[in-house]
Structure 1
Amino acid sequence: MPVGPSSLPPDRSGGAVNRTPHLQLTWSDEQTGAQGYLVIDRLLRGVASGGLRMRPGCTLAEVGELARTMTLKESLVHQPGDRYLPFGGAKGGIDFDPSSPDAPGVLTRFLGAVSPLIHTYWAVGEDLGTRQEAIDAAVAAAGLRSCVEPALRHVPDGPAAGLRRIDDAFAVRVDGLGLGDTVGGYGVAQAVLATLAETDEEPVGLTAVVQGFGSMGGSAARYLARAGLRVVGVVDRDGVVADPDGLDVETLLAHRSPEGLVDRDRLPSGARPLPRGEWLSVASDVLVTAAASYAVDDANEGDVRCGYLVEAANVSVLPSAEKALLERGVIVVPDFLANFAANSWWWWTLFGDIGADAGEALAKIDKTMWRLVQDVFAEVRATGLSPREVATRLAERHHARFRGLPG
């Protein structure tokens, strides 16, 4: 990644000037030497929302860009009439291997160290390399009631009612998957379908490759296949599984590991494994990047062979690579538009905009995603700006409406 730990994140806004975040800090673990970072990009109503990731090589610059993305994501989605009003954006990151036996201790010590900020400002959840149950256990050990403690004071019918809705919602199952593992990828699939509608393309018969097969990528692949796209490739940590006739996504999901790995010993008929380095070798109409950040960079941008790239993972395309893709005519749907559903579902449920019901959740995601994609592409056509530039403008306009509200 071409940015250092002390540098500002690259400008992905299409011209907006990088600015100093509200707060940023660096933590060092005395036992392992791991470095941890927290960036609060902005506060709205005294709260900033964003997850905590753990991966080797995580930097302060990366966490800062992710925090800015969370600010945009929070603000973009707001619909007048919702009980949930946007918060600011934040992100945490730990430079450590989540598969290490020391990782749970590192996570617990980091969250314990920043627990005063979780109590006051930072509503935190799982992200790349962390699991919600581990975060919940760590914040409980630090003496906190919830990982979203600062948000609870805003729940209209009180914290107990909101947390009960969250617990009930996480217990809901959708065709073998938990609702919490469904909503994010479902929203990404709707982003694809709404974007195709804006360009007058029918989904049936088009092809898709999904990079990442965890909760986001697996669910996205499921709903793209159900919409009629042929999912011709999925990518996990161990490589690529491809089939030009279309993969049996349900079979892959049925035998997926908890870490989002495809079982190579139980591949459906026609599927063939390829090396990890060939993840861009499978051409498709739609590429969904649902794995790590900075997956598409200057070194591999020329290998991208698709008409639509949809960012299911945060900051998965470097700004210079996105510029080159746009110049080649590739439509890039930005992360804070494409992948808002998991974050928004959490808040809609906590605040009572929806109940603990899959039908309500998916219907609200549908309505919100299609409205936003239509708004973005209407302005793209009117101005000639990129989808990211337009979506950033919309998010900043929404954000401005909530500045100055009491915390």
Structure 2
Amino acid sequence: MSASPLDLMDDYGPEKVVCVSDTRSGMRGVLVIDNTARGMGKGGTRMSTSVTVEEIARLARTMTWKWAAVDLPFGGAKAGLVGDPQGPDKERQLRAFARALAHEVPSDYVFGLDMGLTERDAAIFIDELRDRGASVGLPAELGGFPYDELGVTGHGVAEATDAALRHLGRDTAGVRVSLQGFGAVGTAAARRLNQLGARIVAVSTSEGALTDPDGLDLDLLLKLRAEAGDRCVLEYGGDIRPLGAELRVPADVLIPAARQDVIDVALARELPARLVVEGANLPTDRAAQAVLSERGIVVVPDFIANAGGVVAAAYSMDSRGSSFPPSADVVLASVSARLRANTITVLDAASAGRRTTHEAALAIAQDRVLTAMRLRGRLPQAVL
């Protein structure tokens, strides 16, 4: 049974849960604004047949921590639309969703790109609300910053990986990397890691897992990805295994960059990788994190490793009313600097406090959010 919105609330939020529907278009959706102590709520908008209020609330909370962890002045929020992103009614449902949230957008929330949405969908949002500030992630022709084209999130995941390896006394050159997921995040991370000398030994898509202990031909695989989508692993040929095998192949680094809740306690007990860098949101649960820590496996948490998109979103938020979008070089340099520094900070804090990296990262983020809540007078008098 799905959790009630009231059951999702704690001292941090959510501050607002807005459920909307439209019978004519079949639209059903939800907006969760989690915590705005550090700034207005910001987080991506996703579309999937399996969207739930609880899922969006969890992701909104992750955004609260992610913004605080990178120390940028925004709060956590997330929106979700129940539907098929490949379906014929997508545009009608997007427009109905935008209309239904017209009281919240863009004053309390700004649409963004997440699973199931494209730059063209962002253009639909601003067209429906007649407001360029209603969404980020717009096509370059409309003044937007091309997140997916530049692969800012995946680039940041790779930079965090390199920083963690160096912190552990390893050189990225020659390191074996396995990636679960070969979409926007996975491909960009693979490309950057390949530039740094890493050996990509496994990737997976919905069609299965492709492995090669000697290293995959990444240039060929990227070409096939552009031509055949998820079928790229089949078109490449070679050793194709069932989906999930990429988590267990011999590798030094595992990057789960697909979906949440993929590493449980059972898998954590047998995971061969010695470094896990969370490219996806919420790929491990707390019990699994404890097992990985006990085994000495270092984990770079999701809201540290995949915050590259957040840094780019901050630039996009600032440039919504400007005719001069930020340059790619400036954004990528900022992503690299912030994520490398944050990775080292969290690893050092975890080591000093003898706790998991998730606990250390969360403590840093929570302290920043609580400080903002205290300064704004949002805490009970006894807590002040």
Partner-residue secondary structure (3-state), 1:276: coil
The 1:73/1:45 distance shift into structure 2, 3 A limit, reads closer
* Unpaired segments ≥5 residues, structure 2: 378-384
The 1:31/1:168 distance shift into structure 2, 3 A limit, reads closer
Alignment pair present for 1:306 and 2:273:
yes
- Of 209, 234, 238, which residue of structure 1 is paired with 2:207? 238
- Shift in Å, 1:64: 0.8
Residue of structure 1 in register with 2:306 after alignment? 339
- Of 4, 14, 19, which residue of structure 1 is paired with 2:2? 4
1:259-338 equivalent positions in 2, closer than 5 A: 260-264=229-233, 266-267=235-236, 271-298=238-265, 300-302=267-269, 304-338=271-305
Residue of structure 2 in register with 1:120 after alignment? 107
1:165/1:349 contact within 8 Å kept = no
Residue of structure 2 in register with 1:14 after alignment? none
Residue of structure 2 in register with 1:90 after alignment? 77
What letter corresponds to residue 167 of structure 1 in structure 2? G
1:237/1:276 contact within 8 Å kept = yes
Residue of structure 1 in register with 2:382 after alignment? none
Residue of structure 2 in register with 1:138 after alignment? 125
Tell me, in whole angstroms, the C-alpha distance in 2 between the residues paired with 1:350 and 1:88.
Answer: 13
1:165/1:355 contact within 8 Å kept = no
- Shift in Å, 1:265: 6.0
- Shift in Å, 1:295: 2.3
1:10/1:319 contact within 8 Å kept = no
Tell me, in whole angstroms, the C-alpha distance in 2 between the residues paired with 1:262 and 1:254.
Answer: 12
- Shift in Å, 1:194: 0.8
The 1:70/1:373 distance shift into structure 2, 3 A limit, reads same
What letter corresponds to residue 235 of structure 1 in structure 2? S
2:221/2:233 contact within 8 Å kept = no
Alignment pair present for 1:66 and 2:78:
no
Partner-residue secondary structure (3-state), 1:231: strand
- Shift in Å, 1:348: 3.0
The 1:298/1:375 distance shift into structure 2, 3 A limit, reads closer
- Of 209, 213, 219, which residue of structure 2 is paired with 1:250? 219
Tell me, in whole angstroms, the C-alpha distance in 2 between the residues paired with 1:213 and 1:331.
Answer: 22
Residue of structure 2 in register with 1:370 after alignment? 340
- Of 27, 40, 51, which residue of structure 2 is paired with 1:47? 40
What letter corresponds to residue 43 of structure 1 in structure 2? T
Residue of structure 2 in register with 1:152 after alignment? none
- Shift in Å, 1:247: 0.9
Partner-residue secondary structure (3-state), 2:124: helix
Residue of structure 1 in register with 2:366 after alignment? 396
**Farther off after superposition, 94-103 or 396-405:** 396-405
The 1:258/1:70 distance shift into structure 2, 3 A limit, reads farther
The percentage of aligned residue pairs carrying the same residue is 31
The superposition leaves residues 288-312 of structure 1 with CA deviations (integer Å, 9 ceiling, x where unpaired) of 1111222223564445331111111
Partner-residue secondary structure (3-state), 1:146: helix
Residue of structure 2 in register with 1:216 after alignment? 185
Does 1 or 2 have the higher relative contact order (CA < 8 Å, sep 6+)? 1
Tell me, in whole angstroms, the C-alpha distance in 1 between the residues paired with 2:340 and 2:224.
Answer: 32
- Of 140, 143, 153, which residue of structure 2 is paired with 1:167? 143
Residue of structure 2 in register with 1:181 after alignment? 150
- Shift in Å, 1:229: 1.5
- Shift in Å, 1:180: 4.7
**Farther off after superposition, 343-352 or 203-212:** 343-352
Residue of structure 2 in register with 1:82 after alignment? none
Alignment pair present for 1:100 and 2:87:
yes
Bigger share in helix:
2
- Shift in Å, 1:266: 4.2
The 1:95/1:350 distance shift into structure 2, 3 A limit, reads closer
What letter corresponds to residue 392 of structure 1 in structure 2? L
* Unpaired segments ≥5 residues, structure 1: 12-16, 79-84, 150-162, 171-177
Partner-residue secondary structure (3-state), 2:127: helix
The superposition leaves residues 229-261 of structure 1 with CA deviations (integer Å, 9 ceiling, x where unpaired) of 211011111111111111111221122148952
Residue of structure 2 in register with 1:173 after alignment? none
1:10-49 equivalent positions in 2, closer than 5 A: 19-31=12-24, 35-44=28-37, 47-49=40-42
- Shift in Å, 1:378: 1.8
What letter corresponds to residue 158 of structure 2 in structure 1? A
The 1:375/1:10 distance shift into structure 2, 3 A limit, reads farther
The 1:301/1:108 distance shift into structure 2, 3 A limit, reads farther
The superposition leaves residues 260-299 of structure 1 with CA deviations (integer Å, 9 ceiling, x where unpaired) of 525246427xx43222243323221111111122222356
Output the TM-score relative to the length of structure 2.
Answer: 0.86
1:292/1:313 contact within 8 Å kept = yes
The 1:358/1:164 distance shift into structure 2, 3 A limit, reads closer
Tell me, in whole angstroms, the C-alpha distance in 2 between the residues paired with 1:274 and 1:392.
Answer: 36
- Of 134, 152, 157, which residue of structure 2 is paired with 1:147? 134
